Amino acid sequence: MMRLELVKRPQRSMLFSALSPFIAFGLTIIAGAILFALLGVNPLTAFEIYFIEPISQVWQLHELAIKAAPLILIAVGLSVCYKANIWNIGAEGQFILGGIFGSIIPVLFPGFEGPLVLPLMLLFGMVGGAFYAAIPALLKTRFGTNEILTSLMLVYVAQLFLDWLVRGPWRDPQGHGFPQTIQFNDSAVLPELMPDAGRANWGFVFALVAAVLIWVLMSRLLKGFEVRVLGSSPRAGRFAGFGLSRMVFFAFLLSGALAGLAGISEVSGAIGQLQPVISPGYGFTAIIVAFLGRLNPLGIVAAGLVLALTYLGGEAVQSALGISDKVARVFQGMLLFFVLGCDTLIHYRIRLVGMALAKGAAKLDAAPKLKEAR
Amino acid sequence: MSADHDGANLLEVRGLTKIFGTLTACDHIDLNIAKGEIHALLGENGAGKSTLVKMLFGSLEPNSGDIFWNGEAVRITSPGMAKKLGIGMVFQHFSLFEALTAAENIALSLDDGSPISSIAAKARALSFSYGLPLDPDSLVGDLSVGERQRIEIIRCLLQTPQLIILDEPTSVLTPQEADKLFETLERLRSEGKSILYISHRLEEVKRICDRATVLRHGKVVGHCNPREETASSLARMMVGNEVKAVVRAPAEGIETAQPLLEIRALSRKPATPFSIPLKNINLNVRAGEVIGIAGVAGNGQGELFESVSGEVLQQDAASVRIRGKDAGALSITGRRLMGAAFVPEERLGHGAAPRMKLSENLLLSRHATDGKVFVGAGGAVKSGAVYAAAQRIIVAMDVRKSAPDPEAAALSGGNLQKFIVGRELDRSPAVMVVNQPTWGVDAGAAAHIRQALIELARSGSAVLVISQDLDELFEISDAIAVMHNGELSKPLPIAEATFEKIGLLMGGAEPGHAEHTLETA
């Protein structure tokens, strides 16, 4: 019997730390080629349709920006959480609540028009997302619940709440019974950046601005230092006088607000009304974006564009080759798997251990390790 | 050295070398351990003692060199194999589960499927015959450190080893508990077992060890008979040069000086099932004096430090007072702003964030007190000013490092500790509270840190030092109080304090009631 063990490396390779996302991407391509071959499609053709064609024209680049904007907005917020070692998995729900809160004005007060509408909607969206993120933060700080579980479970609550709204109280009375709200009036629609060239709207600009601001926060401000200290050594953070509870709220509210902003931008810009489903899983995909971008806001911009492409590619292979668009999910999953795998192997090396020998060693090692963990 | 090739050696090590990256932790180490001897392995921290022992116990593989066991070449590839050969080890940091009983902990490491009850019976018999009283059915969490060490020793003895390796065994014991341990060791020697005794306490090495091997910077610098050496000649071998003695000028007029740190009736409930409650602690530290707090590890010193530093707040704001003002309800930042500074026991992960640069670690404890200097408008960190201040501290404390601003984890323990202490001294705090100032620090750096603490006090600050190292406390303190089971004794002025008096208090004796000393520990 053999057994695999992860042994901590004494030193991390700087080179491979930097290369890791690219290696992961390469491995994803290889695994993807095998996947396409098994589906009976020539991998080269499939890759051309998946990765090249969707960005070969200017209007398609606009589509890419539309898909990338929410991913980047959410992921930069999540990067702050994850740097603080706080695990907000519920950005999808915060995104939806942002969409709902932001839609209050155009849905309930359709007569209210003017330049104030849009800023108010965006503000409401951020408040909605932040409010929804405050729930797991409160549960964690007050009752010590695991934020991974609570934030994830609240996603389903948000999805069902939206579903109920658009089928019930907020349904468009003139909508022939379709489960959707009224179309937003013009002053409630996020303008397009270059209407002549494509559909990309201001959401992409918000994403870039947010990425730069978060970068400044994390690398230049004392608050960012606090995030990094509490995330990497909580006890040193407490010694520094930084409060962990305050940090939980800060990280959740910030990431929730950005997810909410992404939600209302998507609803107001790309969709123009509320529907039962307003996100193809942006909140979850953004987790991959955050890690692929090494939790660095500028890396996240690049990673967001890559993941946006997997969405477009998924749609493209579906229409051109008749392959399920779930293949996009498969690609995203593989990418996350390989990123995390590469990161792990940067910190650890694998050792094969014979069972009989390992037993004694493991028994002896187990206790001190447990102690360390506490 | 006489026993070199006469075949009576239980263990022979030839040219053992271990290289970590660019560091040669062990460089062609030669070592002979004869049957029935207590052999000391001496060396400062970082001299390569732990690396050598780990290779002997199979948890590290040497890069080159040979190990002979009873004259036969062996490769020790795992701790399991070391045990099979007959090598047992008692670690400095215990590997025991607090929520299990002593017998259950022993069963875990024996791993031969025998029932707990029979293991408990064997352990009881063994502990009785070696004079190490132990109840195998007691929960480890309820036991004192000395008792925990007995579990480790009995666990090791149950495997009937020929060679027992003890890593700094007395660092957690009272002087009286240590005496008991020495009796056991002498008994084991008389039975023909060999002991490799790792320590930096020269007096005890002189007292019980037959031979000594001294390491410095990964190399063997000498073999000797410790009984023929003096403590200072051994120290010279370990350090390589004369260590500057700490000078303690007599404190003048401190009886009338203002108390800068007052602890009044401080009590604290245990935070976890295995932590110690603090019971009605009272102490004044006046301007100009160093007060030492002695005690065996785990008697509430950590809890006291957290309460005084403000990492844990008190319900009664008056229970901790700094410079005459109530501070009990203030956070650590609030207390720092009143002029207090703190150095915790753990360097990595508590006093410093391991993966952050030294300059960032400077900001860690001083972002509020030096807010104007280090943090600009809008919360922007002035990294230039922080960097300059870090360099100033590095120079002042003679911190040796490999890069201009390395990560904290890249420094040796002693150099990081110099930086952490220097970070606080640089502020000239009115009150300084230090937990284990020189734990694991080499002699040269330790002397530097101790001298700096004395000078801080003599310049008019109040210094409180919590330490397990009695030599250190006697060297720097003007008075020593003892912590036992969450209670603090009255401080004994240094002129009246003796090792024996302090040792009895550490074992839990009330002053003047020396009879029921050890077993209450």
* pLDDT class of B520 with cuts at 50, 70, 90: very low
* Cross-chain Cβ contact A221/B381 below 8 Å: yes
The CATH 1.10.3470.10 domain(s) of chain A lie at 64-309
Q: Of A1, A127, A23, A98, nearest to A342 (Cα)? A: A23
Residue A364 in this model has a pLDDT that exceeds 60? no
pLDDT, tens digit, 9 for 90 and up, residues B107-126: 887 777 788 888 888 888 88
pLDDT, tens digit, 9 for 90 and up, residues A317-329: 888 888 887 888 8
**Closest approach of chain A CAs to the CA of B25, in angstroms?**
14
Q: What is the DSSP string of B92-124?
A: SS----TTSBHHHHHHHHH-S---HHHHHHHHH
* pLDDT class of A368 with cuts at 50, 70, 90: very low
For A145, phi then psi, to 5°, come to -70, 160
Task: Quote the CA–CA distance of B310 and B336 in Å, as a whole number.
Answer: 9
Least confident of A344-348, B148-152, B244-248: B244-248
Task: Quote the CA–CA distance of A245 and A226 in Å, as a whole number.
Answer: 12
pLDDT at A354: 64
pLDDT, tens digit, 9 for 90 and up, residues B265-321: 999 988 776 678 999 999 999 999 999 999 877 788 989 999 999 998 998 999 999
The complex's ipTM works out to 0.81
Amino acid letter at B224? C
Residue with the bigger pLDDT between B464 and B191: it is B464
Share of chain B above pLDDT 70, in %: 93
Between positions 86 and 145 of B, the ones with CB within 8 A of A are 91, 93, 95-97, 108-109, 111
Q: Are B497 and B318 in contact (CB under 8 A)?
A: no
pLDDT at A18: 80
pLDDT, tens digit, 9 for 90 and up, residues B37-51: 999 998 876 778 888
Chain A residues in contact with B81 by the CB 8 A cut-off are 357, 360
Share of chain B above pLDDT 90, in %: 40
Place of tokens 């990067």: A79
**Closest approach of chain A CAs to the CA of B37, in angstroms?**
27
Place of tokens 């009286």: B176
Chain A residues in contact with B368 by the CB 8 A cut-off are 241
Q: Of B77, B492, B468, nearest to B300 (Cα)? A: B468
Identify which of B108, B355, B367 has the shortest CB distance to residue A222: B367
* pLDDT class of B3 with cuts at 50, 70, 90: very low
Q: What is the DSSP string of B306-368?
A: HHHHTSS--SSGGGEEETTEE-TTS-HHHHHHTTEEEE-S-TBTTTB-TTSBHHHHHHHHHTT
Residue B430 in this model has a pLDDT that exceeds 90? yes
Q: Which two tokens stand for residue B429?
A: 């705090």
**Closest approach of chain B CAs to the CA of A8, in angstroms?**
13
Least confident of A300-304, B80-84, B128-132: B128-132
Task: Quote the CA–CA distance of B173 and B171 in Å, as a whole number.
Answer: 6
* Cross-chain Cβ contact A361/B108 below 8 Å: no
pLDDT at B517: 39
* pLDDT class of B423 with cuts at 50, 70, 90: very high
* pLDDT class of B243 with cuts at 50, 70, 90: low
Q: Which two tokens stand for residue B352?
A: 């410093």
Task: Quote the CA–CA distance of B296 and B388 in Å, as a whole number.
Answer: 40
Q: Are B414 and B441 in contact (CB under 8 A)?
A: yes
Identify which of A236, A359, A368 has the shortest CB distance to residue B80: A359
Between positions 4 and 43 of B, the ones with CB within 8 A of A are 20-21
- What separation in angstroms does the CA of B481 have from each of B267, B295, B302, B456, B513? 17, 9, 15, 20, 17
Share of chain A above pLDDT 90, in %: 68
Task: Quote the CA–CA distance of A268 and A186 in Å, as a whole number.
Answer: 10
Q: What is the DSSP string of B68-96?
A: EETTEEE---SHHHHHHHTEEEE-SS---
- Tell me what the pLDDT averaged over chain B comes to: 86
For the CA atoms of A126, A129, A131, A137, the dihedral, rounded to the nearest 10 degrees, stands at: -130
Task: Quote the CA–CA distance of B418 and B381 in Å, as a whole number.
Answer: 24
pLDDT at B414: 78
Please tell me the total number of residues recorded for chain A in this structure: 374
Q: Are A22 and A335 in contact (CB under 8 A)?
A: no
Establish if A232 touches chain B: CB-CB under 8 angstroms: yes
Chain B residues in contact with A230 by the CB 8 A cut-off are none
Residue A372 CB burial class (10 angstroms; 0-12, 13-18, ≥19)? exposed
Neighbour count for residue A311 (Cβ, 10 Å): 25
Identify which of B81, B342, B364 has the shortest CB distance to residue A229: B364
Residue B242 in this model has a pLDDT that exceeds 70? no
* Cross-chain Cβ contact A239/B80 below 8 Å: no
For the CA atoms of B468, B469, B473, B475, the dihedral, rounded to the nearest 10 degrees, stands at: -170
pLDDT at B514: 39
Task: Quote the CA–CA distance of B451 and A85 in Å, as a whole number.
Answer: 40
Domains of chain B: 9-239 (3.40.50.300), 254-339+429-520 (3.40.50.300), 354-419 (no CATH)
Place of tokens 């875990």: B108
Amino acid letter at B175? P
Task: Quote the CA–CA distance of A10 and B217 in Å, as a whole number.
Answer: 20
End-to-end CA distance of chain B: 41
Give B341's Cβ-side CA count (13 Å radius): 26
CA A319 vs. chain centroid, Å, equals 26
* pLDDT class of A95 with cuts at 50, 70, 90: very high
Residue A195 CB burial class (10 angstroms; 0-12, 13-18, ≥19)? exposed
Task: Quote the CA–CA distance of A87 and A80 in Å, as a whole number.
Answer: 10
Chain B residues in contact with A236 by the CB 8 A cut-off are 349-353, 364
The secondary structure element, H or E, covering residue A286 is helix A282-292
Q: Which two tokens stand for residue B521?
A: 């520990």
- Tell me what the pLDDT averaged over chain A comes to: 89
Establish if A7 touches chain B: CB-CB under 8 angstroms: no
What is the second-level CATH architecture of the domain A64-309?
Orthogonal Bundle (1.10)
Average pLDDT in the A177-200 region?
Answer: 91
pLDDT at B447: 87
Q: Of A262, A257, A181, A250, nearest to A221 (Cα)? A: A250
Identify which of A240, A243, A357 has the shortest CB distance to residue B364: A240
Task: Quote the CA–CA distance of B224 and B202 in Å, as a whole number.
Answer: 13
pLDDT at A39: 87
